[in-house]
Amino acid sequence: MTAPWWREGVLYQVYLRSFADADGDGTGDLRGLAGKLEYLAWLGVDGIWLTPIMPSPGADWGYDVSDYLDVDPAFGTLADLDELVVAAGERGIRVLLDLVPNHTSDCHPWFLAARSGRDSPLRDRYVWAAPGPDGSPPSNWLSAFGGPAWTLDEASGEYYLHTFLPQQPDLNWRSEDVRAAFDEILRFWFARGVAGFRVDVPHFLLKDDELRDNPPAEEADPWWVHRHGQRLVWNFMRPELHDVLRRWRVLADEQEPGRLLVGEGVIEGHQVAAFYGGGDDELHMTFHLGLANAPFEVVALRDVVEEAERLLPPGSQPLWTLGNHDIARYGSRWCEGDPRRIRLALLLLFGLRGTPTLYYGDELGLGDVPVPAESARDVEGRDPQRTPMPWSQEPGAGFTAADVDPWLPVGDRAGLTVAEQRGDPDSALALTRDLVALRRRSVDLRAGAYERLPASGGVWAWRRGGRTIVALNLSGEEDVVDDVAGTVALATDRERDGERVDGRLALAPWQGAVVIR
């Protein structure tokens, strides 16, 4: 049996609003993306995940959906999506959408109806609860974006739950009505040829039915279970959520061809593992965001990877990324713009066992773009990692027309544009493309097991499969890896490509190589 495409392939996250603007309104759109398929095919990616495209008032940039069965006019039409899916398919690229099931927009007709009164037939689609005896919120849960997770609906005298903004009321996933409505939503997009979904915050889907208070955080608690002084217990990773994931998995697997379900991701290995289910019966893969949240240091990175190797169920496929629209770009966070470190980070991504995912611009080594306060758009300050793709140095960055103001500033992109890097064999972009191609040629890199090799200091080296070694020097000192023999298939210093190694691989500071015997 051949492996499913997503095990062998490379994913690419398109932050649609910032990718390519075809209609000249300063916002990226579906037709803009369609115009860049040639680039994505040249790069060699197999699947693209589009951040939410459904109609949304934009309080959280599409993560507040007001209609699950349409395309936001800012991005185009359903017909544009259909054309994109076909055109991408002709180039061997699958299209994944972002599914936002934990909450809707407060402008969604379901919420408007639910809010119209306690006896509304849609009331139960959301989470409502009476105030405490003193009028306080029903539990101490906090919103991810600050403040209480409950807002009082004055008219009915009940609070509604919102794990994020008050404009993002949480759906009640105990309701069969909600479950059935989402079955229809999944089927609707599957029928349009969508290859699957990235599922937003599955870890929050269900909450304790008694709405118990979270305990205070303890000092030793890591920040991700530690929300503004409390430990996430009763509204996070609840066991009941797995029923919903199993239900979607059946639906996805029933399709011809089967569709892919990918989880947004969590930070600890055992949490990531939980989404793979008891017997490969929940999400196909879930991002392990522990990697991007670790410092760029051997021990920290290696611990994340080796813990995942230990904890993920046998046969399952890890899903790695260096960042996304919620996290500072790796080019800044890890590499401070140092081209040697940027190359090393890319080699790491493609050297690990699992499916590599590029966040648009990662292939250029893009860093965060400073966004002045007067241009800021996001409530959570995530604009610097969401700025327009720098296609060229022309005004508008090749993202939008020269005389159009892009929705976020393009920033200073010298050396970081596709136009400059595409023709330069020594660029981050050329390295990424060669890594994608090498992975395609190498069964070891696609599917070989991970096995750590002895190394010291700042070096992390591992074997993949029978013949391939990946070695990274994550330090500012020269170092060596012993017992390496073969040919350098690809090094971050491209002049070393093709070099013979006979027993000892020397690595300059921040240098890495793939050696094949």
> Which residues are known catalytic residues?
200, 254
CB nearer to ligand NOJ: give 132 or 147: 147
User: Which x/- pattern over 118-157 shows residues binding ligand NOJ (rule: CB under 6 A)?
Assistant: ----------------------------------------
- Residue of 406, 366, 365 whose CA lies nearest to 388: 406
Interface with ligand NOJ, residue 201, by CB under 6 A: yes
Minimum distance, C-beta of residue 223 to ligand NOJ, in the bound complex (Å): 16
Among 164, 334, 407, 450, binds ligand NOJ (CB under 6 A): 164
By CB under 6 A, the count of residues binding ligand NOJ is 9
**Inter-axis angle of helices 428-441 and 339-351, nearest 10:** 20
Minimum distance, C-beta of residue 200 to ligand NOJ, in the bound complex (Å): 5
Cis peptide before 257 (omega within 30 of 0): yes
CB nearer to ligand NOJ: give 183 or 378: 378
Minimum distance, C-beta of residue 102 to ligand NOJ, in the bound complex (Å): 7
Among 12, 15, 19, 63, binds ligand NOJ (CB under 6 A): 63
Q: Which of residues 246-275 bind ligand NOJ (CB under 6 A)?
A: 264
CB nearer to ligand NOJ: give 60 or 72: 60
Query: Which DSSP category does 237 fall into?
Result: S
Interface with ligand NOJ, residue 60, by CB under 6 A: yes
For residue 467, the tally of other CB atoms under 10 A from its CB is: 14
Strand runs (DSSP E) across 53-110, as ranges? Answer: 94-99
Minimum distance, C-beta of residue 333 to ligand NOJ, in the bound complex (Å): 17
Minimum distance, C-beta of residue 65 to ligand NOJ, in the bound complex (Å): 9
Name residues whose C-beta falls within 8 Å of residue 186's C-beta, 6 or more positions apart in sequence. Answer: 99, 197, 248, 251, 252
CB nearer to ligand NOJ: give 100 or 505: 100
Strand runs (DSSP E) across 355-511, as ranges? Answer: 355-359, 450-452, 459-464, 468-473, 479-491, 500-507
Interface with ligand NOJ, residue 106, by CB under 6 A: no
Please write down the long-range contacts of 253-259, taking CB distance under 8 Å and 24 or more positions apart.
Answer: 255/190, 258/4, 259/190, 259/194, 259/195, 259/196, 259/197
Query: Within 13 A of 223's CA, how many CA atoms are on the CB side?
Result: 4
Rg (CA), the chain: 23
Q: Which residue is nearest to ligand NOJ (CB)?
A: 63
Question: Which parts of this chain interact with ligand NOJ (CB under 6 A)?
Answer: 60, 63, 100, 164, 200-201, 264, 325-326
